[in-house]
């Protein structure tokens, strides 16, 4: 549980709040009335932000008061802002940073898909040996479909894996 101190606006965890009041005997469960008498309010869990997968996630962004109660506030992240040049990094706009972030997410996903494809191909290598008791043409077609996964329209996020013959 988190608690907001009315006088400062600081938000602390319950253990921190208890430690701030070492001479107070607290019951196991803190009540709203007890917190109010001590100049504090409970912070209730707010709704998660609506995000667009795979590039966004819900991240906490402080607290907000709604209808007299305090709630955690969530925003869709990551959040990019224009960045001035430093000794270590060149200047970059928020749009440039977002594009680089999306490209890195796409590259990581493509690497994962290719690793899965490589394993699936390795698992079917036995079908291509001379004395394998299988329909070699059907398995060769399947293996080519595995190789062609990277050419699919939704690659790397939407993959239709071919079924084994």
Give every residue of the chain whose pLDDT is below 50, as ranges: none
Phi, psi of 60 (to 5 degrees): -70, 140
The pLDDT tens digits for 58-97 are 999 999 999 999 999 999 999 999 999 999 999 999 999 9
Which strands make up the sheet holding 11-13, listed edge to edge?
11-13, 2-5, 40-44, 69-77, 57-66
Contact by Cβ (8 Å): 71, 46: yes
**pLDDT for 155:** 96
Report the predicted TM-score, pTM, of the whole model to 2 decimal places.
Answer: 0.68
Residue 9 to residues 109, 139, 163, Cα–Cα distance (Å): 41, 66, 58
**pLDDT for 159:** 96
């Amino acid at each position: 549980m988190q608690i907001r101190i009315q006088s400062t606006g600081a938000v602390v965890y319950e253990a921190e709040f208890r430690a701030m009041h070492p001479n107070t005997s607290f019951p196991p469960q803190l009540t709203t009335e007890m917190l109010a008498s001590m100049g504090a309010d409970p912070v209730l869990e707010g709704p998660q932000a609506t995000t667009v997968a795979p590039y966004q996630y819900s991240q906490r962004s402080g607290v907000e008061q709604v209808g007299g109660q305090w709630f955690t506030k969530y925003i869709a992240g990551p959040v990019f802002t224009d960045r001035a040049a430093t000794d270590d990094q060149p200047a970059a706009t928020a749009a440039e940073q977002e594009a680089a972030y999306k490209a890195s997410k796409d590259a990581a996903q493509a690497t994962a898909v290719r690793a899965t494809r490589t394993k699936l191909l390795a698992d079917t290598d036995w079908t291509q040996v001379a004395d394998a008791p299988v329909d070699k043409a059907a398995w060769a077609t399947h293996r080519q479909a595995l190789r062609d996964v990277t050419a699919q329209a939704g690659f790397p996020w939407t993959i239709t894996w071919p079924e084994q013959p």
